[in-house]
Amino acid sequence: MRDGADTTRIEATCLPGEEAAESKKPMDGVAETVARQIRNQQLGADLDAYESEHGAFSDEELAEAHARIRGFEEM
């Protein structure tokens, strides 16, 4: 790296087990782990914004979302 170059430092710490295992792969595994973490953070922010505008999700809505997620994981 040359002096004065514009750089961005990205650190990923305290990753859950599966993501930590992936981060031990070559750099593409690390990049995918970081990308997944960023997507999850953005999703959390989007859900918070939705709830701020429309109110909290009902138990039924949460149960449906969890069922859909489990269904996709099984595919």
The predicted-structure confidence for 7-19, as pLDDT tens digits, reads as follows 777 765 666 666 6
Number of domains forming the structure of the chain? 1
The predicted model gives 61-70 an average pLDDT of 91
Q: Can you read off the two tokens belonging to residue 31?
A: 């990049």
Does residue 2 fall inside a structural domain?
no
Does residue 65 fall inside a structural domain?
yes
Does residue 34 fall inside a structural domain?
yes
| Among 8, 4, 11, residue whose Cα is nearest residue 38 | 11
Q: Can you read off the two tokens belonging to residue 54?
A: 């429309």
Statement: residue 1 has pLDDT above 50: no
Which residue would you say has higher pLDDT here, 61 or 16? 61
Does residue 24 fall inside a structural domain?
yes
Statement: residue 4 has pLDDT above 60: no
Does residue 4 fall inside a structural domain?
no
Instruction: Output the pTM of the full model.
Output: 0.51
- Mean pLDDT estimate for the chain: 79
- 63 is in which domain, residue-wise? 17-74
Neighbours of 31 (CB within 10 A): 13
Could you tell me where the DSSP H helices lie in the chain?
17-22, 27-54, 59-74
